[in-house]
Structure 1
Amino acid sequence: MSLDRFRDAVRFLTIIPVGASKDAPDSEWLVRSSQFFPLVGAIVGLASAAALLLTSLVLGPVIAALMAVLASVLLTSAFHEDGLADTADGFGGGWTVEQRLTIMKDSRIGTYGTLALLFAIALRVAALAEMPAWTGAAALIASGAAGRAVVLPVVGWMKYAGNTSAMKVAYAPSPLRPGEIGFATIVVLLALTLLAAASGTHAPFTLLVGISCGIALAIAVTLWSRRLIGGYTGDVLGAIEQVFEVGFLLGVAAVIRSI
């Protein structure tokens, strides 16, 4: 059922309590629930937006931006940030495919991962601090939805580079169905519409630059992953989501600063 798949997506991507699953997971549960990833991302963005708006009532834009990013990190238990750090460590420290995959599985964080996290968080905070509060709030919802959506074509395009038998969750490769793609697309478009409304007359340019910057970074990491490990892993998907958010927020901030 769709409600069960939505709960699977919430359970997988966040720490929001939705109750334990009553059924044993089938091999396609992750693929079937991925249509709801953008919706879950929008929910996380909404929580971050609330933190931004509430904090901005009493404190300055930098602290408000920090609280917004902190809300996202707490709500997802740093799920995507962990993927970014592992990917940076693996790609930066490994000389062979096997070495890179081994490093990515290591729970310890190295220099490359630490730097990647610091810059990713700092850039998101800095970008949000450049925006009016309501625009920043809308940008958080839009980037949350679009960031979770941008990983879906990567899964369909590239092969899984890790060992599926060693995965922590049951998984079997399966393409998204047209209805699932349509639902995810509608969620992203609605989230982008909120940002367009908050951007006023400059909405088309704001969306164009934001999406272009986010996709450019996402494509760069995707191609980098294909070259270094021959495909993707869960950590790589987390890294792609993170760099999309960074690029998207920086693009929106750049447009706002220029007008």
Structure 2
Amino acid sequence: MTWHRIVLWTALVLFAVWFLTPLYVMIVTSLKDMDQIRGGNLMEPPTHLNFASWGKAWNQACTGTDCGGLKPFFMNSVSMVVPAVAISTTLGIVNGYVLSKWRFRGSEVMFAMLLFGVFMPMQVVLLPMSQILGYFGIASSIIGLIVMHVLAGIPSTTLFFRNYYVGLPDELIKAAMLDGAGFWRILWRVVLPLSTPILVVTLIWQFTNIWNDFLYGVVFSGADSKPITVGLNNLANTTSSVKEYNVDMAAALIAALPTLFVYVVAGKYFVRGLTAGAVKG
């Protein structure tokens, strides 16, 4: 251990403590009862584990006038995220494959136009998209949210897969064509088996963006289709005679658990996918 490695590890530990402290506070606060919260300090661990706040946050806490907890909002998010991630990723695979290996006249222009969707502020599309969803009769519904997130995610997924597929040897495609394989067979038998790193990156990216989205959820959802982020906001802003901080912290952790689980389980694959070409091209 040289001095510069000691300095490096010290800095890394300090940064880790800095970023993990809010998570620690949330966890210990959610496991305390209100008496300990009022009489103790913020960093003090719970004297005894109290999971009642978790149960209340899940199925009893008030989110406005409704006191059914976060459970319906959580299920709405699951119903929205799974198809939205699957569809946007599938379309990104096909688009990236076409724009990298089956180029046509104007394909580069089309790709450049798609890139505008990556950097365009979300607020720009709120009014026109609400009119379009209303015209098709899917406004304020789970289906409308799925359509919105699919359309918003296509530019990013296309960018990821296109830049990754540019690095694949063209000889693989030509060899498969000489063997008589067509467009879809080459994609399914040749390209997809080589796409695991970027596929993991895209799935994690889309899942995180859609699950944590608040703007689209609050604008395009109805009374029965609000996602978990809107439910958490309503719960935190609901006034009562006693502010139950343990319930609020438990609710925040419930909303964050899926993304935390994904990054803990697949975080190393996310980094590998990025270094394998997700940001190249």
TM norm. shorter chain > 0.5: no
Q: Which has the larger radius of gyration?
A: 2
TM-score where L is the length of structure 1:
0.29
TM-score where L is the length of structure 2:
0.27
